[in-house]
Amino acid sequence: MAAPRTREYMMKNKLFIHVLAVLAFLVQGASNVHSVSVMEGDSVTLHTGFKMIQKDRIMWYFEGTLIIEISGDLSTICKDDQCKEVAERFRDRLKPDHKTGSLTITNIRTTDSGDYTLTLRGARKHNFPVTVHAVGQGEGKRESVKEGESLTLDPGVKREPNDVMWFFNDTLITEITEDQCKICTDVQYKERFRDRLKLDHQTGSLTITNTRTTDSGEYTVKIKSNIHHGHYSVITTTSLKIFSVTVTSE
C-alpha cells in the first residue's frame, strides 16, 4: 500500500521542482541586459545566443513598440497604426536571422538609441539598451607639417585585430580588414595619395609621406572591434578620432 503514496509524493515533488525551474527561467530571462554602444552609420547585431526551432516565435520591440516578428522562415515588419511611425524609422534597415532570431540594424542613426527587447514564446526576455554616438563626437586634434615632410596620425589606442578605416574629408582612403591593407579605389584620392600612405597594422596609425599642400583637410579614423557579452556579441566602433591637418608650403 505504500507504493502508491510514494509515487504520488514523487510526482508532487517533480511538479514542485518543475515549477521552481520555470520561475527561475523566467527570472533569469527578465534580468538579461546587454548594453550596446555603436557609432552612427555602423551596423549592429543584437544576438539571441540560441538556435530557433520551427515553432519558436520571437518578437522584437523598440521602446515597448513591436518592430518585427520572427517565426520559422518568415519575418513580419510591424505595420499596425500603433507602430507605423517606428516602422517608418527602420524602413529597409532591419535584417533578421531566421536561424537564431538575432536582429541586425544597418546604417544605424542617433534616433535609434533606446531599449530593444526580445521575447521568446511570450515569456523569456532579453534587453539591449543601445546607445548610438554621433560621428561628430570624436576627439579632434590639430596637426601641422611642412610640405615634403612625413606626418603620422596616431589614434592612440591599442588596436585589436579588427577593422581600421581612414577617411579624408569623409571619403574612405585606406583600411585594414583582417590584417589586409586596402587603398581606396576612388580615382581622385587614389591618384593624389599614390604610394604615399603607410598603415601600421598593430596600432592603426596612418603615415603620409612626402606631404603636399593638397593633403590639408580633415582625417578621421574609425576602429571597429567585436565586444562579447558571454554568448552574446555585438559589433561596435570602439574608437573615433578626427585630425585637422594643415600642410604649409615653403
Q: Of 152, 242, 140, whose CA–CA distance to 203 is shortest?
A: 152
Give the pLDDT of residue 240.
73
Q: How far apart are the C-alpha atoms of 147 and 217, rounded to whole Å?
A: 14
Contact yes or no for 196/205 (Cβ under 8 A): no
Residue 8 confidence (pLDDT): 53
Q: What is the pLDDT of residue 30?
A: 41
How would you write the pLDDT of the chain (250 residues) with one tens digit per residue? Answer: 444 444 454 444 444 434 443 343 344 444 467 778 777 778 888 888 777 776 778 889 998 888 888 887 777 777 666 677 777 888 889 998 888 888 999 888 888 888 999 888 666 688 888 888 766 555 568 899 999 999 999 887 665 556 788 899 888 888 877 656 666 655 567 788 888 999 888 788 899 999 999 999 999 888 776 555 445 545 554 567 889 999 998 7
Q: What per-residue confidence (pLDDT) applies to 247?
A: 95
Q: Give the span between the Cα atoms of 200 and 139, in whole angstroms.
A: 20
Name 37's Cβ contacts closer than 8 Å, sequence gap at least 6.
130, 131, 133, 236
3-state secondary structure of 157: coil
**pLDDT value of position 23:** 41
* pTM more than 0.95: no
